[in-house]
Structure 1
Amino acid sequence: MPVAISRQPFICLRRLPKTKRTYATSQTPLPPAPPTSGAAKLSTRRLISLHGPDAPKFLQGIITNNVKPDSRAGFFAAFLTAQGKVLHDVFIYPTLGSSFHEQTNKTEDAGFLVEVDGDQVPTLLKHLKRHKLRAKLQMRLVEQGELDIWATWKEAEKWTPFSGVAGEGSNVDDRGNLTLVDSRAMGMGQRILLPSTTKLDTLPAMEGIQDAGLDAYTIRRYLRGVPEGQQEIPRDDVLPMNSNFDIMGGIDFKKGCYVGQELTIRTHHTGVVRRRILPVTLFDAVAAPPEKMQYEASTSFATPERNTDIKIDGKRGKPGRWINGVGNIGLAMCRLELMTDLQVTGEPSTFSPEDRFVVKTGAEEDAQTLGVKAFVPDWMKSKIRAPKLQRRVE
């Protein structure tokens, strides 16, 4: 007798109830506004140590900023692909004269610490080893618990970058700790590398400064329009000018050859940067747009998912793309002549103050539409070049 085969009943997948995705709402408490003076331990960042006689020359050929062998001032820079797209945003700390150099390198050869997004350490190490060839230097990952990276800020003090001249502008404090002025935007403060056994408040310069947490540092970055790390500057995705490296002091346009220089220098001299990362604020779509950029810890709506398109209400086109945010503020990649009144070409601007920009949050069936407004901070306005007017030869 034939054996009866039991079959599962047919189920139409379209009839199944859809599982709702969860998003951050008012039920998740938002961090408070950052204090006027404070500090944050940057647990999302890691350090790679390079030292040896060829270390300055090696770095000079693969980063966007100028490495001066006789300078002890740290700086902001980027590693690029051969096609000129950003691989990693980094801070470079020359270590000569510091306690770290004396205890670990123990030579008079130049040394550097490269600060990078913690998740990108294996990728950056692979990139460095690929270009090392026969260069006389050693590299290693600084272990966790060896050095901590701190960001500090004081509203009353205006830290400015040092001159970088030999013997001046040293980034080593009187206790041998490495420091660096964060010159990406006004008010970003200072970075300090401390042994994990050292408490921040034991330093005389940091007396009275409390740990405000990583969220406070992130909110301060967003308010100033400063992107950082892989989530906000995806590798091999954008040109450095799109992420504001040119106006944040991350590129030296007068230095010699380095990986990715050709397209970078050509864009700087002849190209037009139409898209840049800007700080944006979210608001109720039916309300009037806010007049200024301000963080509100009482925000009750969800934050859009990363890479969600920003649209013009009632019109076609995609003037921007949401990147990341906290509460009602964040960063977005914006087309300048659509979302701001900046003029980046000699052609008439297409910006209209009457246009309303919107972004959707949540799943398709219960998506919420929020208004978006982009702001151009004063520090950006002063650094973005006006378009060159081409004169017609008669």
Structure 2
Amino acid sequence: MPVAISRQPFICLRRLPKTKRTYATSQTPLPPAPPTSGAAKLSTRRLISLHGPDAPKFLQGIITNNVKPDSRAGFFAAFLTAQGKVLHDVFIYPTLGSSFHEQTNKTEDAGFLVEVDGDQVPALLKHLKRHKLRAKLQMRLVEEGELDIWATWKEAEKWTPFSGVAGEGSNVDDRGNLTLVDSRAMGMGQRILLPSTTKLDTLPAMEGIQDAGLDAYTIRRYLRGVPEGQQEIPRDDVLPMNSNFDIMGGIDFKKGCYVGQELTIRTHHTGVVRRRILPVTLFDAAAAVPEKMQYEASTSFATPERNMDIKIDGKRGKPGRWINGVGNIGLAMCRLELMTDLQVTGEPSTFSPEDRFVVKTGAEEDAQTLGVKAFVPDWMKSKIRAPKLQRRVE
């Protein structure tokens, strides 16, 4: 006996109402402005331990900065692809003389801790193992709960200002904790690695410093134009100069051979860096253009989705690309001679003060259009090289 089969009514998917993306508005409170002195536990970062007799030579051949055997100061650097594009932004902490080295490595061989974006740990470990070959060293991921990474800042203290030289001074405090001056930009403060059982306020140097949260650290980075991590420096996407590694002390151009060096050195000496990551502020497209970079916790509009194109209002072209942000501030990849008055080539600048730049909050037709203003901080302006003048031979 045939079985009756119930047929479901046909539904045309094109007739279904489209779901709209919900954006952050004033109903979602934004974090407050960061305090002038504070600290933040960097839960988005992880540590990889390397130690052994060949550890300095091994790192020297695969990172952009110089590993000095006689120096115990930490520094900022990058791992590159063979084509010279950024894989990972990292901080390197030499561990000799620290409590961590004595308790964990237990040898006189050189040791290093590599701080990297937490989501990229498997990729970096794979990269390190690919280049290890027969090098005499051991590597492991530092377990969560073993060491915490803290960023601290005191705008009145000497270690807060921009040093300009990667790796000045010792990196071990009087209690054996590893520290590092963050010299990427003025006012970034310092990093300190603490055992998870140690509270920050128990250190004499940190007396009175309160945990301001990760958002405060992020806002301070954006105000200074400092990108960090995979969301802001995607792997194998840009050259290190586009992400400001050259002016943040992350590259030693006098260093010998390392992976990705050829294109990096060639671009530095003969090329022109037309695009860089800059701090930007968002504003109502119908309002006046802001005169200064300032975070406003009362912002009510949505932050654009990542990688949204920045356009010139009323003109063709895409002078920039939105990267990430909080409230009314963020980072964007900008063409310098279109979005700023900087001149990086010997050609006439195409920048016009009358141009207004805009970005949509999303790809939807009803997405809000916001104004965008790029700023060049003083520390960055002093580091970007002026174009070389071409002398005419008569």
Same fold (TM over 0.5): yes
Contact 2:78 2:88 in 1 (8 A): yes
Deviation of the 1:366 alpha carbon: 2.3
Contact 2:30 2:298 in 1 (8 A): yes
1:142/1:164 Cα in 2 relative to 1: closer, same or farther (>3 Å)? farther
Contact 2:79 2:89 in 1 (8 A): yes
Contact 1:158 1:187 in 2 (8 A): no
1:163/1:101 Cα in 2 relative to 1: closer, same or farther (>3 Å)? farther
Aligned to 2:365: 365
Contact 1:274 1:335 in 2 (8 A): yes
Contact 2:75 2:166 in 1 (8 A): no
Give the 3-state SS of the residue equivalent to 1:140 in structure 2.
Answer: strand
Contact 1:20 1:363 in 2 (8 A): no
1:87/1:165 Cα in 2 relative to 1: closer, same or farther (>3 Å)? closer
1:165/1:361 Cα in 2 relative to 1: closer, same or farther (>3 Å)? closer
Give the 3-state SS of the residue equivalent to 1:124 in structure 2.
Answer: helix
1:168/1:375 Cα in 2 relative to 1: closer, same or farther (>3 Å)? closer
Give the 3-state SS of the residue equivalent to 1:331 in structure 2.
Answer: strand
Q: Distance in 1 between matches of 2:307 and 2:261?
A: 28
Task: Give aligned pairs, total.
Answer: 394
Aligned to 2:23: 23
Contact 2:153 2:160 in 1 (8 A): no
1:318/1:136 Cα in 2 relative to 1: closer, same or farther (>3 Å)? same
Aligned to 2:379: 379
- Write the deviation string for residues 139-198 of structure 1: whole angstroms up to 9, x where unpaired: 000000000000000011132699999998210000000000000000000000000011
- Write the deviation string for residues 290-327 of structure 1: whole angstroms up to 9, x where unpaired: 00000000000000000000000000000000000000
Contact 2:303 2:326 in 1 (8 A): yes
- Write the deviation string for residues 186-243 of structure 1: whole angstroms up to 9, x where unpaired: 0000000000011100101000000000000000000000000000000000000000
Contact 2:281 2:328 in 1 (8 A): yes
Q: Distance in 1 between matches of 2:126 and 2:87?
A: 12
Q: Distance in 2 between matches of 1:15 and 1:166?
A: 60
Contact 2:165 2:183 in 1 (8 A): no
Q: How does 1:227-242 map to 2 (within 5 A)?
A: 227-242=227-242
Deviation of the 1:364 alpha carbon: 1.5
Contact 2:33 2:296 in 1 (8 A): yes
Give the 3-state SS of the residue equivalent to 2:21 in structure 1.
Answer: coil
Deviation of the 1:4 alpha carbon: 6.7
- Write the deviation string for residues 78-129 of structure 1: whole angstroms up to 9, x where unpaired: 0000000000000000000000000000000000000000000000000000
Aligned to 2:101: 101
Contact 2:161 2:188 in 1 (8 A): no
Aligned to 2:34: 34
Deviation of the 1:12 alpha carbon: 2.4
Contact 2:303 2:327 in 1 (8 A): yes
What TM-score, normalized by structure 2, do the two folds share? Answer: 0.97
Contact 1:40 1:216 in 2 (8 A): yes
Contact 1:48 1:140 in 2 (8 A): yes
Deviation of the 1:24 alpha carbon: 1.2
Give the 3-state SS of the residue equivalent to 2:128 in structure 1.
Answer: helix
Contact 1:360 1:370 in 2 (8 A): yes
Contact 1:84 1:239 in 2 (8 A): yes
Unaligned ranges ≥5, structure 1: none
**Range moving further from structure 2, 174-183 or 365-374:** 365-374
- Name the Cα RMSD after superposition: 2.0
Deviation of the 1:365 alpha carbon: 3.8
Contact 2:160 2:190 in 1 (8 A): no
Q: Distance in 1 between matches of 2:358 and 2:168?
A: 49
Give the 3-state SS of the residue equivalent to 1:264 in structure 2.
Answer: helix
**Range moving further from structure 2, 361-370 or 153-162:** 153-162
Deviation of the 1:369 alpha carbon: 0.5
Give the 3-state SS of the residue equivalent to 2:276 in structure 1.
Answer: strand
Deviation of the 1:8 alpha carbon: 3.4
Q: How does 1:332-351 map to 2 (within 5 A)?
A: 332-351=332-351
1:161/1:258 Cα in 2 relative to 1: closer, same or farther (>3 Å)? farther
Contact 2:75 2:167 in 1 (8 A): no
Give the 3-state SS of the residue equivalent to 1:221 in structure 2.
Answer: helix
Aligned to 1:285: 285
Q: Distance in 1 between matches of 2:266 and 2:373?
A: 31
1:2/1:168 Cα in 2 relative to 1: closer, same or farther (>3 Å)? closer
Q: Distance in 1 between matches of 2:269 and 2:362?
A: 42
Aligned to 2:305: 305
1:167/1:387 Cα in 2 relative to 1: closer, same or farther (>3 Å)? closer
Contact 2:149 2:194 in 1 (8 A): yes
Contact 1:285 1:358 in 2 (8 A): yes
- Write the deviation string for residues 23-64 of structure 1: whole angstroms up to 9, x where unpaired: 211111000000000000000000000000000000000000
1:58/1:161 Cα in 2 relative to 1: closer, same or farther (>3 Å)? farther
Q: Distance in 1 between matches of 2:255 and 2:277?
A: 25
